């Protein structure tokens, strides 16, 4: 299941995603002529950074949200393309890549056995996958508050057939999955990226775009604001620090796997 996001608001609310992704990109040992695929490129800022690292190569960013792709396409570079495509339909991509990169996205994908197989099929011999996504323990405050909001009498009726949007496995569980995949040479490791938002506004922007989107999609217009306000108010209360900043857990899974 894929959702529709506001690319501009995401661009303005994603400084911490950009920080993690930017660090990973800066550490990639690139020659400069690689063909790269970015899964869940969002607003395309990191995809453009990848394109700058491979002036003699090419980069394709895919995302299932039109709102994200529209904003991503504003990053114009001669070796950079974007395509509206669901990661679950990767098998339809008839191209070969030397690197498949993904930042802050793959916890939105449920079937990772198929994902790993599809990525392996798309890679050239010796090519590699480099992922960073949310694992067990991520956003522990937000998940608690969302579950509470969904169980309130006023809102619970809207969630009777709701599909939980995220898959955040334990690192050991994911390592087993990679061990069972076609990748032979791989490393899977955890990262504690717990985060202090500088103020309430920064945290609210992150809650609204992208985290709240799948939940609000299930709530009718007349109750959307009340649901949003409940989540925001509870989050501010639960996470406020004495210095005015707001804390949230951020537990990541890193994957480096070679074909």
The helix (run of H) or strand (run of E) holding residue 62 is strand 58-63
Q: Quick one: which of 240, 171, 246, 239 has its CA closest to 16?
A: 246
Q: How far is the CB of 229 from ligand SAM (least distance, A)?
A: 23
* Residue 42 interacting with ligand SAM (CB under 6 A): yes
What angle in degrees, to the nearest 10, is found between the helix axes of 15-27 and 45-53?
20
Of 58, 105, 138, 181, the one binding ligand SAM (CB under 6 A) is: 105
Which string of x and - marks every residue 71-100 that binds ligand SAM (by CB under 6 A)? Answer: ---------------xxx------------
Residue bearing tokens 């309430």: 200
Whichever of 42 and 127 has its CB closer to ligand SAM, that residue is 42
Of 48, 50, 59, 64, the one binding ligand SAM (CB under 6 A) is: 64
Burial, 114: exposed, middle or buried (Cβ in 10 Å; 0-12, 13-18, 19+)?
Answer: middle
Q: What span, in angstroms and rounded, lies between the C-alpha atoms of 183 and 163?
A: 30
Whichever of 111 and 233 has its CB closer to ligand SAM, that residue is 111
Residue bearing tokens 């998940």: 143
* Residue 132 interacting with ligand SAM (CB under 6 A): no
Burial, 205: exposed, middle or buried (Cβ in 10 Å; 0-12, 13-18, 19+)?
Answer: middle
Q: Which residues inside 167-226 make contact with ligand SAM, applying CB under 6 A?
A: 210
Of 13, 25, 35, 40, the one binding ligand SAM (CB under 6 A) is: 40
Of 41, 100, 139, 146, the one binding ligand SAM (CB under 6 A) is: 41
Q: Report residue 3 CA to chain centroid gap.
A: 12
* Residue 150 interacting with ligand SAM (CB under 6 A): no
What are the residues binding ligand SAM (CB under 6 A)?
Answer: 2, 5, 14, 17-18, 21, 40-42, 46, 63-65, 68, 86-88, 103-105, 108-109, 210
């Amino acid at each position: 299941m894929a959702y529709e996001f506001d690319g501009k608001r995401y661009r303005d609310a994603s400084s911490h995603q950009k920080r993690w992704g930017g660090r990973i990109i800066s550490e990639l040992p690139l020659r400069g002529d690689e063909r790269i695929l970015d899964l869940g490129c969002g607003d395309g800022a990191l995809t453009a950074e990848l394109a700058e690292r491979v002036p003699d190569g090419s980069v394709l960013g895919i995302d299932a949200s039109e709102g994200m792709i529209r904003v991503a396409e504003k990053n114009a570079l001669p070796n950079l393309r974007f395509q509206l495509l669901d990661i679950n339909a990767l098998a339809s991509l008839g191209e070969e890549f030397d690197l498949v990169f993904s930042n802050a996205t793959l916890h939105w994908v449920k079937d990772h056995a198929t994902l790993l197989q599809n990525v392996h099929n798309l890679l050239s011999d010796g090519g590699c996958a480099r992922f960073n996504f949310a694992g067990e323990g991520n956003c522990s405050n937000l998940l608690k508050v969302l579950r509470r909001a969904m169980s309130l009498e006023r809102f619970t009726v809207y969630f009777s057939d709701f599909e939980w949007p995220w898959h955040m496995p334990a690192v050991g569980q994911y390592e087993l999955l990679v061990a069972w995949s076609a990748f032979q040479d791989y490393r899977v490791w955890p990262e504690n990226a717990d985060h202090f938002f500088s103020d309430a506004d920064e945290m609210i922007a992150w809650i609204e775009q992208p985290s709240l989107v799948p939940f609000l999609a299930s709530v009718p217009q007349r109750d959307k604001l009340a649901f949003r306000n409940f989540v925001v108010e509870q989050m501010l209360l639960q996470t406020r620090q004495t210095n005015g900043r707001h804390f949230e857990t951020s537990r990541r899974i890193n994957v480096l796997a070679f074909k």
